[in-house]
């Protein structure tokens, strides 16, 4: 599926589609250049999931944990600062990835050997004044 996003309302609609389409999936990897809007889209998806806690980029903390209004936990990872896959072991990535909770992963190319076999890819590309979001 492809979305051409020009404003926040279209971003909200794309996030709601993702949640409906992939409601039973848990691992979502986000690909896109720096500033493409990965974190912004994850925030919108979290809203669609009913996250009640504040969402922000985990660039420095590496992992953020959010709670939904129904008590579910959502994990948001930003692996941009990792120097090697081994560093992800130090953070106990397996506990998160295999917890059964939704995991949103930015910069998955930093940990290619650690991504579970089943995942949803979301690619974001800047095209002029639009963001192009592709899922698959």
pLDDT tier at 2 (50, 70, 90 boundaries)?
A: very high
HEC states along 30-62?
A: EECCCCCCHHHHHHHHHHHHCECCCCCCCCCCC
5 vs 24, residue with greater confidence: 5
Answer whether 14's CB lies under 8 Å from 43's CB. no
pLDDT at 94 over 80: yes
Distance separating alpha carbons of residues 62 and 24, to the nearest angstrom = 25
- Domain containing 54 equals 2-135
Quote the tokens at residue 61: 């903390």
pLDDT at 24: 87
Measured CA to CA, the distance from residue 6 to residue 84 in angstroms comes to 36
Q: Identify the pLDDT of residue 30.
A: 98
Does residue 61 carry a pLDDT above 80?
A: no
User: Binning pLDDT at 50, 70 and 90, where does residue 45 land?
Assistant: very high
Instruction: Tell me what pLDDT residue 60 has.
Output: 63
- List CB contacts of 47: < 8 A, sequence separation 6 or more: 12, 15, 55
Which residue from 136, 63, 134, 69 is spatially nearest to 104, judged by alpha carbons?
A: 63
Q: Which residues contact 129 (CB under 8 A, 6 or more apart)?
A: 6
What are 65-90's pLDDT values in tens digits? Answer: 999 999 999 999 999 999 999 999 88
CATH number of the domain residue 14 falls in: 3.40.50.300
pTM comes to 0.93
Rounded to 10°, the helix 38-49/8-21 angle is: 60
User: What is the tally of structural domains in the chain?
Assistant: 1
């Amino acid at each position: 599926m492809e979305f051409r996003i020009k404003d926040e309302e279209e971003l909200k609609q794309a996030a709601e589609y993702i949640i409906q389409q992939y409601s039973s999936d848990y691992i979502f990897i986000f690909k896109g250049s720096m500033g493409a809007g990965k974190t912004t889209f994850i925030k919108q998806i979290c809203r669609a999931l009913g996250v009640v806690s504040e969402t922000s980029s985990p660039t420095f903390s590496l992992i953020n944990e959010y709670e939904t209004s129904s008590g579910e936990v959502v994990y948001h990872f930003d692996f941009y600062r990792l120097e090697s896959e081994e560093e992800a072991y130090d953070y106990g990535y397996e506990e998160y990835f295999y917890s059964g909770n939704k995991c949103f992963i930015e910069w998955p190319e930093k940990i290619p050997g650690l991504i579970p076999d089943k995942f949803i890819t979301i690619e974001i590309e800047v095209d002029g004044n639009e963001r192009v979001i592709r899922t698959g």
